[in-house]
Structure formats: C-alpha cells, structure tokens
Amino acid sequence: MTRPDLKAALLALREYALQQGVKAHLSLHREDSHLVRLANGNVSLNTTEHITSLEVTAFDGPRSATSQRILDLSDTQALKATVDQAQAMLAHASPLSYTPTFPVIEKDSHHSARYDEALAYLSNEDILAYIQQSVSGLEDGDVTLGGSFSVGSTEEITLSTATPHAVSHRFSDAQVTLVLASEQDKWEINAEQSAEVLSDLKPQAMHARLAYLKDKYTTCSAVRLPLGPQRVVFGPAAIAEYLGFLTRFGLSGWFMKQGRGIHKARDVGKQVLSPLVTVTEGPDNQGAFPLPTDRYGRARQQQAWYDAGVLTGFQYDQDTADEFGEQPTGHDLGPSFALLPGDRPHTDMADLQTLAREEGDLLYVPYLHYTGVVSATQGLITGTSRFGALLFKQDGSIQVPYNVRFTEKLADIFGTKLQWLSRGQSVYNLSDTYGQRNPRALLVPSLMCCDGVKVEISNSSY
C-alpha cells in the first residue's frame, strides 16, 4: 500500500487548494536512491539521497501553470506555498490554442506488485559483495574496474481537486554497469544488469560475461575493419538504443503531428518494417516497469504498435490529444515497450562462434556509444561500437575490432536489413541516474542480426 504520509499530505493539500478556490492537479514524488560509483578499482563515490518533490498544476480554461519544489512533507507552509505559487503564475500564463483536460480520477488505483524492500534498501555490504563476485579474479596489474551500481525505490501519487481519488505506484529498481579497462591497451569491456526485485541480480552471469570478454581481448588479435557492409549481430544494449529511437520518432503522435516523425498518418495499416518486428506496449510487459493505469486513472491496454511490421497507430498523451483533437492512448506515464523475440535459439555471444562457421563472418556489437539523430523524419541514427565488440570469423577464429561507426535508417535496421531475432529476451535498463528517479526499461531479444550494415568510419586503434 501507499505509505500513509504521502497520501495524507496530498489529501490535506487538496483541501487547502479547494479552500483557496484553486482548480489543481497535485503530484508527490518520493525517491530513496543509493549510488555507488567505481573508478580505477576503487569506490570513488558512495551517496544516498532521500528526496520528496511536489508538482502543482493550476487550471483555468485554456491556461495552466505548474509550480514544483523539493520539500519536507512536514513543512506545511512549503506545501501550501507551492499551490499559491501555481495559482499566482496562472494569471500570467499565455492561453493555449486548446483547453487542456482537467484530471477527474474516478477511483483509487495503486500498483506495487513488483516492489521489493530487500532490493530497494540493499546495504553497502551487499552491494560490494555483488561487485566482488562479479569481478572476482578478473582485475590485475593492467585491468581495473569501473562502473556504477544504482539502487533504490520510487513512489508517486497524484490526484486533483475534482475528486479525492488517487493514482499511485511504487517501484524498486537497480541498474548495474561494471567496466573492465586496460590501462596498457586502452580497451574497455562491460556487463550490465537491470533489476526490479533482488532475485534479478545475478553476479555469476556478470562474471561469466566479463571473463569471456577479457579472455578474448587479451588473447585475440586486434584488427581495423574495412569500410563497407558487414553482417552485424547486435546485443541488448544496442538493440534497446535503436528501439528507443524507433518508439520515440515512429510512434509518438506529437512528433507525427508536428511533421517531425518517421511516419505519416497515412502509414497506419501499412507494412513499414520487417514482418519479424512486433513492438508491444502495456501492462503485460513485465520487467519494463509497466503500470496498469495512466495518470488519469484510466486502465492501460496491451497493444502491438508495430504488428508483424504493420504500423497500427500513434500514441497520444492527454495534452497532445487535447491539442490535436485525438483520443488519448494512456501514455501520460513512462511507456513499457517490448520488441518480441524471434525463433533463433542463439541467445549469447558465445553461440556466435559456431554460427559464424555456418553463415560467414559476424561482427558482434553489444553496445552503441555517442548515438545521435541525424534526421528524425528519416529515422537516421548514428552510433559507434564500444564495450566488447568481437569479430567471429567463418574459419572459427575470433578477432577484436577497433571501434566503428554506423549511420543507418531505423527502417533498414528493423526492415530490409533485419535477418533474425533470437528466441531469448533481455531487460535493458534506460533509467537516468542524474535526474528524478523514474525507472524505465525495454524488453528486447538477446541478439538481433542485420546484414549489410555499413561501416562508414573505422578506428585505427582503441
């Protein structure tokens, strides 16, 4: 259940807003965050934060104004001052070209099914034990450990002056990135894990990945790849990077209406991607921090937005729906996307050595770095390989490629160039540890093979 102090504070603030004649939407967000950062084999930062923030949006016809502040729940004057400030700002707000929908929440909704206290408040001793198990025996005089371990909990509750009903949720989550770096040769390899509950943390899997990569990076020859097309197998981090751009620029109703998206309204119902691509979003995508309702208390529905490559529609948050006269699709909170897996049994990079003997050379790219949008309307994305790329040769040998850059259209990566998707699926965490804690993850196949991916820049060293 929602902790009483959050809901009690918000209900009391609602009564104050009503007394002041303020038509308002009120939200409280609380996070307990613990971050351990590693550098050069040592803990370089160990910090804990407990933050509560309030957001108040006042409404008056086509005008709205929002006031936010970080505060202590016991400071009733600060709570009331946030309402007063939003109301004062409202008189100076420019009118919109439309009237935003005022939230009328019809019943209470609370979601905490996957909240795990044991994960949320993991001790320093347990974090260090996990890290030690993950890298045991892998550091030496040249190779040292870096990375980060972010863990904590998030609780949010929202209601309006229209009704006393509230929508709330609570998550525990962890995001782990461990990096081994060679001082002499300047290479870096990494392993990552995302967790909703404590049992999701598996240091043995982290150790196996890092040990495999370190062995290849210290025993196999390094090569500079030629420019031109390659048969590439992407790992979960790289797949999630591409999927994140696809769902943002391909499915956002706001980008489509602004003429800044990949698709047009006329593309709905058309085959725009490979039949291998089905992208779903909704409360059934466990692992991606799904929510059963939106901010307005409306039930969210599971839906395939790309169904076997066919575009089925666009997503509209309430504000965009109001602006363009569309129906909201329940996306006022963070979405929970999944790219459904395929039928290939290969689930791990170690499987690629055998597969290369059958299919030819395979460039394994687990991670894309410095990704950017070259053209949103074309879905043209650029990025550089990093953190553990390998070249599996048809003759059975393995080489370590220096970093390369790809600039590819999403319609090609998920379209004509897509060869297969693995049967296995992975959770990839996209949470931002620098801003407000709001856990976000994507569900993606463990491996994705694309042919004809062009290497346009090839480094001559690490």
4 pLDDT above the threshold of 60: no
- Of the listed ranges 127-141, 302-316, 338-352, the one predicted with least confidence: 338-352
- What was the pLDDT predicted at 423? 93
Write out the H or E segment, with its range, that includes residue 217. helix 203-219
> How many percent of the chain have pLDDT more than 90?
92
Other CB atoms within a 10 A radius of the CB of residue 114 amount to 18
Other CB atoms within a 10 A radius of the CB of residue 321 amount to 21
Average pLDDT, whole number, for the chain? 95
Read off the CATH number of the domain in which 114 is found: 3.30.2290.10
Q: Look-up: residue for tokens 């599971």?
A: 302
- What was the pLDDT predicted at 191? 95
Torsion of CA 284, 289, 292, 293, to 10 degrees: -140
Token duo for residue 352: 């690629």
Q: Which of 344, 400, 390, 398 is nearest to 365 (CA)?
A: 390
Q: Are residues 137 and 73 in the same domain?
A: yes
CA distance 267 to 121: 47
Q: Are residues 206 and 245 in the same domain?
A: no
Q: Are residues 109 and 17 in the same domain?
A: yes
Q: What angle do CA 382, 224, 416 make, to 5 degrees?
A: 40
Domain that holds residue 150: 4-219
Q: Are residues 201 and 280 in the same domain?
A: no
281 pLDDT above the threshold of 80: yes
CA distance 433 to 428: 14
Q: Are residues 150 and 232 in the same domain?
A: no
312 pLDDT band (50/70/90 cuts)?
very high
352 pLDDT band (50/70/90 cuts)?
very high
Q: Are residues 173 and 264 in the same domain?
A: no
Cα dist from 137 to 134, 210, 211, whole Å: 9, 11, 9
- What was the pLDDT predicted at 451? 97
Q: Are residues 60 and 15 in the same domain?
A: yes
- What was the pLDDT predicted at 104? 95
Q: Are residues 209 and 289 in the same domain?
A: no
Tell me which of 165, 196, 219 is where a domain ends.
219
User: pLDDT, tens digit, for every residue of 219-270?
Assistant: 999 999 999 999 999 999 999 999 999 999 999 999 999 999 999 999 999 9
> Strands 362-365, 228-234: parallel, antiparallel or unpaired by DSSP?
parallel
**Phi, psi angles (nearest 5°) of residue 183:** -70, -35
- Amino acid (one-letter) located at 188: E
Token duo for residue 94: 């420019």
118 pLDDT above the threshold of 90: yes
Give 445 or 1, the one with higher predicted confidence: 445
Q: What is the mean pLDDT of residues 350-373?
A: 94
CA distance 236 to 447: 6
Per-residue exposure over 35-71, b if at least 16 CB sit within 10 Å of its own CB, e if not: bbebeeeeeeeeeeeeebbbbbbbbbeebbbbbeeeb
CA distance 154 to 237: 24
1 pLDDT above the threshold of 70: no
- What was the pLDDT predicted at 2? 46
CA distance 55 to 381: 35
Other CB atoms within a 10 A radius of the CB of residue 275 amount to 12
DSSP-assigned states of every residue in 25-84? EEEEEEEEEEEEEEETTEEEEEEEEEEEEEEEEEEETTEEEEEEEE--TT-HHHHHHHHH
Tell me which of 194, 219, 244 is where a domain ends.
219
Q: Global pTM?
A: 0.94
User: pLDDT, tens digit, for every residue of 135-146?
Assistant: 999 999 999 999
Q: What is the mean pLDDT of residues 6-19?
A: 96
Residue 414 CB partners (closer than 8 Å, separation 6+)? 242, 246, 273, 274, 277
- What was the pLDDT predicted at 435? 79
Length of the chain as a residue count:
462
The count of domains in the chain is 2
Q: Are residues 328 and 283 in the same domain?
A: yes
- What was the pLDDT predicted at 348? 85
CA distance 33 to 140: 31
Q: What is the mean pLDDT of residues 192-209?
A: 96
Tell me which of 171, 196, 219 is where a domain ends.
219
Q: Are residues 95 and 239 in the same domain?
A: no
User: pLDDT, tens digit, for every residue of 318-327?
Assistant: 999 999 999 9
3 pLDDT above the threshold of 60: no
Find out whether 174 and 46 touch, Cβ atoms under 8 Å: no
Token duo for residue 56: 């108040």
User: pLDDT, tens digit, for every residue of 401-455?
Assistant: 999 999 999 999 999 999 999 999 999 998 876 778 889 999 999 999 999 999 9
- What was the pLDDT predicted at 113? 87
DSSP-assigned states of every residue in 345-409? ---SGGGHHHHHHHH--EEEE-EEEEEEEEETTTTEEEEEEESS-EEE-TTS-EEEEPPEEEEEE
Q: Are residues 244 and 310 in the same domain?
A: yes
Q: Are residues 266 and 381 in the same domain?
A: yes
